[in-house]
Amino acid sequence: MLYPNIPTPRKVCMETSVIANDELAPDTGKPVSKLNLGRFGAGFIFFCIVFMMSGTIGSTVLLPARFNTLGIGQGETILGTMNSIGIIFALVSNVVFGALSDVSHNRFGKRTPWIIVGGPIAGIGFYLTSISPTLPAIVASWSLLQVGLNCMLAPCVAILSDRVPQKSRGTMSAFYGAGQIVGQSMGTIIGSAFIDSPRTGFLIGTTCWFLCGIGTVLLLPRELSAASDTAERLSIKQIFAQFRPPTTGASDFYKALIGRLMLIFGYNMIVGYQLYVCMRYIGQSSEGAAATVSTMAVITMVVSLAVSLISGPLSDKIGKRKLPVFISSAIIAAGIAVPWLWPTKTAMLVYAAVMGLGYGIYMAVDQALNVDVLPNPDEAGKDLGILNLANTLGQVVAPIVVSSIVVATGGYFLVFPIAIAAVMVGAFVILLIKKAR
């Protein structure tokens, strides 16, 4: 049952009055112990590793390879169609579950139940995608996966705003980003390892999806109960009102949305098509391309992880978010230019290292920046859900644009400069934000 949450008073207790407000947890008004900060970090990194690894096992390697052998159309077209329909479910479910978790009223907390439920839904969708023989079945299964993923994702990201002190958000964002980096690389490595026996790879991904939500909840500090006997039921009108985009004081919020969208879009124009780029732009065989992609994943993982874990705490220390995002974007753009101008296997490995450097910096501060520009912390789930649409939209629109370019031009040459332009547009939009430093 959904009830309006009774806002927690954001006051500082007498015994903690000497502690700065940015060191206090928003939900309790008290400092967070080092143990619980460690549990937050562990929960975020586990969640991101598992969901990124599980999805990447399929989307980056095994599903593109499978689509090439189904005999129902060109691989790029199937991938683009699957994602273009799946985005509708991802966009809607991200905002819906974020908003519902804002107003959920449960003794286990307002975010926890949604995180637990989402994993099995995503796992069923992933498994069905791996066995579906027709395009409609593939699209329907992938859409179900998107619903399950966003059932977990929107509430989990909102925890940064709900429960993590402002002074620690850069560090926690770094754990969040590091988890995604490691998960994406591990997914690529696992997918490449099972490209000749995809059933095992798909089963690994399915199992991880089922464990994702419950494992995250067990690692995170227990959420405060959101139950109250005095809360009033929400009317239908009030429920629908929860889904309204922010309008008051939201200029920086939308700048962050656009900036993130453009960067993720440009980044995924290449990353999402690494296997095809190696095969059809570099000229490698299927086996050679899989080996190159696997090596690239290791390089990206090592570089990104090291940089991310340094950049997040550094961002907290200097109190700046915009400058690291701009620098990371410029590095990513430079990385994309390498294989564009030098289409060789070596260039792809250099690209992986440079991209890992830029993306590691970006992921370390991205979520912290998003929390800093929220218009209303009491609607964090819904508003962060809207910001997360930039991730989903960028990841899904990129394959659509790439497949259109490939079909129209017969190759990948124009994909690279368009990706570079998108990344830099996003970087300049971020610089226009006023609320964050």
pLDDT in tens, 122-135: 999 999 999 998 99
The rounded Cα 175 to chain-centroid distance in angstroms is 12
110 found inside a domain = yes
Indicate the range of 38-52, 78-92, 147-161, 309-323 predicted with least confidence: 309-323
Whole-model pTM: value is 0.72
Q: What range defines the domain where residue 158 resides?
A: 29-222+238-431
Contact 98, 154 (CB under 8 A): yes
Indicate the range of 35-49, 177-191, 240-254 predicted with least confidence: 240-254
One-letter amino acid of 187: G
Task: Return the SS3 of 2.
Answer: strand
Which residue is it, tokens 């996003």? Answer: 426
The number of distinct structural domains making up the chain is 1
9 found inside a domain = no
Which residue is it, tokens 């464990």? Answer: 211
301 found inside a domain = yes
Query: What is the chain's length?
Result: 437
Burial of 334 (0-12, 13-18, 19+ CB in 10 A): middle
**What CA–CA distance (Å, rounded) separates 149 from 87?**
12
12 found inside a domain = no
Decide if pLDDT at 10 tops 50. Answer: no
**What CA–CA distance (Å, rounded) separates 82 from 98?**
24
Contact 82, 216 (CB under 8 A): no
20 found inside a domain = no
Decide if pLDDT at 226 tops 70. Answer: no
Which range has the top average pLDDT, 19-23, 187-191, 201-205, 287-291?
Answer: 201-205
**pLDDT score for 429:** 87
**pLDDT score for 1:** 36
Contacts of 247 (CB under 8 A, 6+ apart): none
* Per-chain mean pLDDT for the chain: 81
pLDDT in tens, 155-173: 888 887 788 887 777 788 7
**pLDDT score for 229:** 41
How large is the average pLDDT for residues 66-76? Answer: 81
104 phi, psi to nearest 5 deg: -65, 150
**pLDDT score for 86:** 85
Decide if pLDDT at 403 tops 50. Answer: yes
How large is the average pLDDT for residues 235-246? Answer: 58
Burial of 287 (0-12, 13-18, 19+ CB in 10 A): exposed
Indicate the range of 198-202, 242-246, 417-421 predicted with least confidence: 242-246
pLDDT in tens, 170-185: 788 778 877 887 887 7
**pLDDT score for 238:** 52
16 found inside a domain = no
212 found inside a domain = yes
**pLDDT score for 186:** 86
Which is more confident, 364 or 33? Answer: 33
How large is the average pLDDT for residues 264-287? Answer: 85
Indicate the range of 206-220, 225-239, 254-268, 403-417 predicted with least confidence: 225-239
**What CA–CA distance (Å, rounded) separates 194 from 365?**
33
**Where residue 307 sits, what CATH number does that domain have?**
1.20.1250.20
2 phi, psi to nearest 5 deg: -105, 130
From residue 289, how far is each of 24, 230, 266, 298, 411 by CA, in Å?
A: 49, 61, 22, 14, 16
228 found inside a domain = no
